[in-house]
Structure 1
Amino acid sequence: MRVGVPIFLFLAAAGFHTALTASLESAEKEDTFGEEVGLEQLSNLQKRDQEEFEAAQMSEAVQDENTEEENDTLEEGMNRDGNVEADQHESESDEDVDCMRQKREHLEANVEEADETTNLAEVE
């Protein structure tokens, strides 16, 4: 009996040590996996933010172009004929503004479609 107790204690300590080591290795693997998944998600978020930023820049550039075109159109309208009645000038300006507005809406729709396409591509 005296010989059995130390052997039992030794086997119990060895088993406890093995179980503790396996548990620590498992926890370490889970931490590493969590970090890899976190980095992948962060990368996807950065890509999405970059695409949204580029789309906003494109939209802003389109608006700047439309503003410049409106200004050029208005200047041309004023320089064409100084004797044109005010009503005719206003109706031409309204038509130009409507035309520019339609162009802007069309370009914005194209930018939104590009964004949706990009988002769908990311999801897949």
Structure 2
Amino acid sequence: MRVGVPIFLFLAAAGFHTALTASLESAEKEDTFGEEVGLEQLSDLQKRDQEEFEAAQMSEEENDTQEEDMTDRDGNVEADQHESESDEDVDGMRQKREHLEANVEEADETTNLAEVE
């Protein structure tokens, strides 16, 4: 019986060691699997975030383009209005000049008639 106790203790220690090793390997595999799944999920999230970011940039560029178009249109409308006002000013000045020339001609004719008489 004295020989059986050390053998029993040896077998118990070997069994405990084997169980402990298997448990650690299992835990290590679970951690690795968890990390791989975590990386895959993280990768999927990053892909979605990147796609959303690119979509947002495209939307911003479209908005900027629309704003530029509207600004150009507003500038063109203002330029057209300014041209119209300038044309009206030129027309008004032309009418005044013609009116003054007509008055000067009438005055010259009146002066000529007065000299003739």
Farther-moved stretch of structure 1 (11-20 vs 84-93)? 84-93
RMSD across aligned positions (CA):
31.6
Distance 1:74 1:30, change over 3 A: closer
In structure 2, runs of 5+ residues without a counterpart are none
* Aligned residue in 1 for 2:108: 115
Say which SS state the counterpart of residue 109 (structure 2) adopts: helix
Rg larger for: 2
Q: What is the CA–CA distance in structure 1 between the aligned matches of 2:116 and 2:32, rounded to whole Å?
A: 25
Q: What is the CA–CA distance in structure 1 between the aligned matches of 2:106 and 2:9, rounded to whole Å?
A: 71
Q: What is the CA–CA distance in structure 1 between the aligned matches of 2:109 and 2:96, rounded to whole Å?
A: 20
Say which SS state the counterpart of residue 83 (structure 1) adopts: helix
Distance 1:37 1:89, change over 3 A: farther
Cα distance, 1:58 vs. partner?
A: 1.3
Distance 1:6 1:42, change over 3 A: same
TM-score (norm. length: structure 1): 0.48
Q: Deviations over 1:27-59 (max 9, x none)?
A: 000000000001001111111011111111111
Q: What is the CA–CA distance in structure 1 between the aligned matches of 2:18 and 2:113, rounded to whole Å?
A: 48
Say which SS state the counterpart of residue 14 (structure 1) adopts: helix
Say if 2:26 is the partner of 1:26: yes
| Matches for 1:51-90 after TM superposition, within 5 Å | 51-59=51-59
Distance 1:84 1:36, change over 3 A: closer
Cα distance, 1:85 vs. partner?
A: 14
Structure with the larger RCO, 1 or 2 (CA within 8 Å, 6+ apart): 1
Cα distance, 1:89 vs. partner?
A: 14
Q: Deviations over 1:71-92 (max 9, x none)?
A: 9999999999999999999999
Q: What is the CA–CA distance in structure 2 between the aligned matches of 1:80 and 1:49, rounded to whole Å?
A: 36
Aligned length: 116
